[in-house]
Amino acid sequence: MESMRALILTKYGKLEEALTVMSTPKPTLDESSANVLVRVKAAAINPLDAKIAEGALNILFSEKFPAGVGLDLSGIVEKAGKDTGFNPGDEVFGIMPMTARGSMAEYALLPASMLAIKPHTLSFAESSALGVVGVTALQALAHHKGAKEVAFIPGGLGGVGSMALQLAKHQFGFARTITSVSTAKVAILKEKIPDVDIVVDYKKVDPATVIPAGSVDFVLDPLGTPYAWAKYLRTDATKKPTMVPSSLPSHRRPSSAPLA
């Protein structure tokens, strides 16, 4: 059996103790399957990877150790199952299934349905960072069935926030977008996503002094603190306002948005 190097979770715990790079069997492709074997060029890290490794989600995802690590990847197709539409040499990016993680490895085996051809305009590193945050942002915005006058997406240069902020107008038809970022990110955000209507520097200005209470149709919570953002939502139920909590409640409170 061929082997490969991979980042492996050996137990739940602090990342420096629970994760180790080791030799592990290289996955093999059943060529009659709908799977694809990818030689990984880049793998991106999400907060979820750390939460899983620390055991914070062990009620949802119970690990059998040693376990693979990571969801997001990009790379080159080594071998492809019959009728998958992929061919050896294709440059791809995608997401490992939640039940079979392991993008942080030399090779990854995943269903063809979790892969797409990498755009020529993006590097392997850039495209590896698109999958999980992109799907998260798409799912969050698709959840909203109400009015689309204003979307407030704090953390507009974060992984999920940057995706949602770009999709809100162009893919989902919101008329106006608002974000809040820390001071160093204000200029970068205005350069990278220039059509955002209001950019609040939350380190200097309380967003509540700029965004009227009850004026927003959609809020994407970036911190697992949905109660801190609820005041911005419209109270008119006929407009079906939506708050999407990004995470399990973390008990953290954004300093700029204290509880009343």
Ligand X SMILES: NC(=O)c1ccc[n+]([C@@H]2O[C@H](COP(=O)([O-])OP(=O)(O)OC[C@H]3O[C@@H](n4cnc5c(N)ncnc54)[C@H](OP(=O)(O)O)[C@@H]3O)[C@@H](O)[C@H]2O)c1
Cis, peptide link before residue 66, omega less than 30° from 0: yes
Residue among 7, 181, 243, 244 that touches ligand X (CB under 6 A)? 181
- The vertex-192 CA angle with 187 and 211, nearest 5°, equals 65
CA dist 123 to 94, 119, 134, Å? 14, 8, 16
The answer to whether residue 155 forms part of the interface with ligand X (CB under 6 A) is: yes
Give the H or E element holding residue 126: helix 124-128
Binding of residue 68 to ligand X (CB under 6 A): no
Nearer to ligand X, 39 or 190 (CB): 190
Contact 21, 32 (CB under 8 A): no
Among 4, 12, 34, 47, binds ligand X (CB under 6 A): 47
The span from the CA of 132 to the CA of 15, in Å, is 21
At closest approach, how far in Å is the CB of 107 from ligand X?
A: 23
State in angstroms the smallest separation of the CB of 185 from ligand X: 5
Hey, which bits of 128-250 come out as E strands? 150-152, 176-181, 198-201, 218-221, 242-245
Contact 180, 207 (CB under 8 A): yes
Q: Does 42 engage in binding with ligand X (CB under 6 A)?
A: no
Q: How far is the CB of 229 from ligand X (least distance, A)?
A: 9
Which of 108, 160, 178, 219 binds ligand X (CB under 6 A)? It is 160
Point out which span in 14-22, 107-115, 220-228, 232-240 binds ligand X (CB under 6 A): 220-228
Q: Out of 43, 222, 231, 234, name the contact with ligand X by CB under 6 A.
A: 222
Q: What is the CB neighbour count within 10 angstroms for residue 244? A: 21
Rule CB under 6 A: say whether 101 interacts with ligand X.
no
Q: Which part of the chain contacts ligand X (CB under 6 A), choosing from 55-63, 114-122, 181-189, 235-243?
A: 181-189
Assess 202 for contact with ligand X (CB under 6 A).
yes
* Residue 94 lies near ligand X (rule: CB under 6 A): no
Question: Cβ 74 to ligand X, closest distance in Å?
Answer: 15
182 near ligand X (CB under 6 A): yes
User: Do residues 141 and 164 lie in contact, with contact meaning Cβ atoms separated by under 8 Å?
Assistant: yes
What are the start-end ranges of the E strands in 10-69?
19-25, 35-44, 67-68
d(CA 26, CA 239): 52
Contact with ligand X (CB under 6 A): which of 24, 35, 46, 103?
46
The label of the residue with tokens 């055991």 reads 55
159 binding ligand X? (CB under 6 A): yes
Residue ranges binding ligand X (CB under 6 A)? 46-48, 132-133, 136, 154-155, 157-161, 180-182, 185, 202, 222-224, 246-247, 254, 256
